[in-house]
Amino acid sequence: MKAAVIVFPGSNCDRDMYHALTDFTDAETVDLVPHTSETVEAYDAIFLPGGFSYGDYLRSGAIARFAPVMQSVIAEAEKGKPILGVCNGFQILLEADLLPGAMKRNKHLKYMCRTVDVNVENADTCFTRAYEQGERLRMPIAHGEGNYECDEATYEALKANNRIAFTYASDVNGSIGNIAGITNEAGNVLGMMPHPERAMEKLLGSEDGRRLFTSVYRHWRDAHAVTT
């Protein structure tokens, strides 16, 4: 598997994402790809890390959505390649219309940085197949604008089509339905606010993030298995 970690001005979790992919999967290639790149066509999976792209001065993800690399990210998403956006990466996917809904400020208008309980709501995606349905995970959050919002029709569609991948075990930031992560309709694009790349080793308090990355790798491996 060839993986791309997109680096925007202000990304600060790109190295953590790189570490997660290089040390805990058998990916053949993991590249840090600058936002100025014109194409990511050569990669099998694309990862948008957390941080503060362009300083979040306008609205989180609103400027990054227009970075040169994003047209290619959108094109590869339409081909069905796995695209993961974490925290600021999730916000960029929303701004790019690869996922529905929007982010508001946390309900208490405070930045939060702590570890929370997260439920696996759908263990049948290319990002979650190494988890058990309904499993309780421990993952860090670090955001001021993670209050996921969508209209009622979109929320009902997300539920009806099993597109809610993760929920918080409690009301962390005011998100509708305690949503922590959703997929697109095809299931190959996942946005999530908790940071799996910061939950890779017990030394850091949790290794519950590992299986998200191994899920993506196994999905690619199974799709390219030689059967004859």
Which of 95, 121, 143, 195 does the annotation list as catalytic?
195
Residue of 87, 95, 126, 143 marked catalytic: 87
Measured CA to CA, the distance from residue 64 to residue 88 in angstroms comes to 10
CA 213, 218, 221, 223: dihedral to nearest 10 degrees? -110
Instruction: Decide if 195 is catalytic.
Output: yes
Active site residue 87: yes
> Residues with catalytic annotation?
87, 195, 197
